[in-house]
Chains A and B, each alone.
Chain A
């Protein structure tokens, strides 16, 4: 987030529910996009079909199960990503470790593999809930300079805070080249997670006979 100017700014009108009722983006002195609410319902009817990919979005619309030509084309273009649940043993190897702040509850963990990258990019994601707020902690092989402003963390470590209108992230780079991104809507939550990260070395990996599974590389 940067200071608005007369030629470049965003005007939003926020409802008491936090939902934007209007949005206007001015770019280089010209209105580039506007959105104005014409209907708003805080108690919508939601069924199992509402978020199903097999439900026609509007009457008569095309329905797909997601494995059609578009998915195949996506795979061919190198955007194929697979996801598997993250095992507790793998979570224990992730460093820096998450020490959830008070009120935060672990929800789920996944390891995603983007096979299009060379070498394949592996991202381990831990999801925490604070009420209805989701905090995602993503470990990846990183690379490049993280965006944002530097913030000091425990033990002399530092992270980079990036605040945008729709989400906030703190990126922490480890000495081994891996990167941790903490992402949520609320900057205070993100910073709370970042400040509580534990940089202690993970416990040694017990020997595993027969090689390691796909999730064994999740600590990158």
Chain B
């Protein structure tokens, strides 16, 4: 039986996920090593716990206890009106167990995007995805960009979860937890 469209899409997703899977395996190895250091690290973790408490108390001081309660209170809720961006550039600090990366996404909807995952702290490229009018590309550190799937298509690495979340809220599959402030912008935590 020929592979289905879903299988083909899954194959492509698997190919793109290979680098990240390697990261996960490395994270697992490092995690096991870290467990051996657990006893030594216990004091440091308690120190971290104290810092977290201080941060929460500090946040209460800054935002007021109403804000903290709103963050903690589960409720079905709904999303505020969303005005989809035509283009954006966003940089994320991305963490896996014991691995930290930087992800830089530039998107021009609906057809163009480039996403780079960079190592920390040297900024070298770990992996990359590009979508342009020629198709979707994947980056290799030794060979540069390679065309994976030709033809115009939707920008990659441009999740638009608001639609699915709104539906999930409507059907009781998600709930609004409150709001947060990130980079000076208020966002809705779901």
Q: Which residues of B contact A57 (CB under 8 A)?
A: 114, 116, 125, 128, 139
Chain A proximity of B130: nearest CB distance (Å): 6
A141-165 vs B, Cβ < 8 Å mask (1 yes, 0 no): 1111011000000000000000111
Give the A interface residue count (CB, 8 A). 92
Q: B109–A132 contact, CB under 8 A?
A: yes
Q: Which residue of A lies closest to B172 (CB)?
A: A3
Q: B162–A14 contact, CB under 8 A?
A: yes
Q: Which residues of A contact B187 (CB under 8 A)?
A: 13-16, 21-22
**Cα A216 to Cα B188 with chains together (Å):** 49
Q: A53–B145 contact, CB under 8 A?
A: yes
With contact pairs A134-B154, A140-B5 given, residues A1 and B167 touching in the complex (Cβ less than 8 Å)? yes
**Cα A50 to Cα B112 with chains together (Å):** 9
**Cα A30 to Cα B138 with chains together (Å):** 30
Q: Which residues of B contact A34 (CB under 8 A)?
A: 94-95
Q: B96–A46 contact, CB under 8 A?
A: no
Q: A13–B125 contact, CB under 8 A?
A: no
A14-52 vs B, Cβ < 8 Å mask (1 yes, 0 no): 111111111100000011111111111111101000111
Chain B proximity of A150: nearest CB distance (Å): 15
**Cα A41 to Cα B8 with chains together (Å):** 34
With contact pairs A13-B180, A20-B161, A52-B132 given, residues A132 and B142 touching in the complex (Cβ less than 8 Å)? no
Q: B189–A187 contact, CB under 8 A?
A: no
Chain B residues close to A by CB (< 8 Å)? 1-8, 11-12, 15, 79-97, 102-103, 106, 108-114, 116, 118, 123-125, 128, 130-132, 134-135, 137-154, 159-165, 167-168, 172-174, 177, 180, 182-183, 185-190
For this complex, 22 residue pairs linking A to B, each with C-beta atoms less than 8 Å apart, are: A4-B173, A18-B162, A34-B94, A35-B94, A39-B91, A43-B87, A53-B132, A53-B144, A57-B114, A62-B140, A63-B144, A66-B144, A82-B150, A83-B135, A83-B149, A112-B150, A136-B153, A142-B4, A146-B6, A164-B164, A165-B159, A168-B163
